[in-house]
Amino acid sequence: PSTHVVTVSDQSTTTLEIALAPDIAVSMTSSVALGNSIAIDFQAPGDPLAPYLAALGFSGIANPGFPINACFFPLEIDAVVLYSIQNLPPFFDFAGALDAAGHAQGTIQIPAEPALAGQVCHVAFVTFVPASFALRHVSAAGTFTITP
């Protein structure tokens, strides 16, 4: 695990041991036009066959993020995040199980709504321990922009 040093109240130092998963990643093209779809790759080679849940948000990347157990989910929680985790259209395969290589692919069908042009979108996902559904890993956020 990586070690992070945190100073508390400028009087003492606490060392936190945090297991980082550098191989978990979300990737996609940098932009998509209105009315088109975009494929989102979810990659966690260390988590083969693990359940996953993805989210898309409009509000930005949180620092340090939304706390979930001992991890931080990197997106600001907004209405779009809360809708996208339901895995309903226009979000497809935003929940499921990774394949034996630790990969899955989701798709978003971008509505042909002119008000969305220029919107920056942030995507991240989490994996779970299959038997218990305890949180296992959290990805960093990937970003794309909706173009006219």
pLDDT digits (tens, 9 = 90+) for 114-135: 999 999 999 999 999 988 888 8
pLDDT at residue 12 is higher than 90: no
- Taking residues 82-93, what's their average pLDDT? 96
DSSP 45-111: TTSTT-EEEEEEESS-EEEEEEEETTEEEEEPP-HHHHHHTTT-TTEESSEEE--TTSEEEEEEE--
Nearest to 145 by CA among 45, 82, 69, 56: 56
On the CB side of 87, CA atoms within 13 Å amount to 10
For all residues of the chain together, what is the average pLDDT?
A: 85
Q: What is the mean pLDDT of residues 51-76?
A: 83
Whole-number Å distance between alpha carbons of 94 and 84: 7
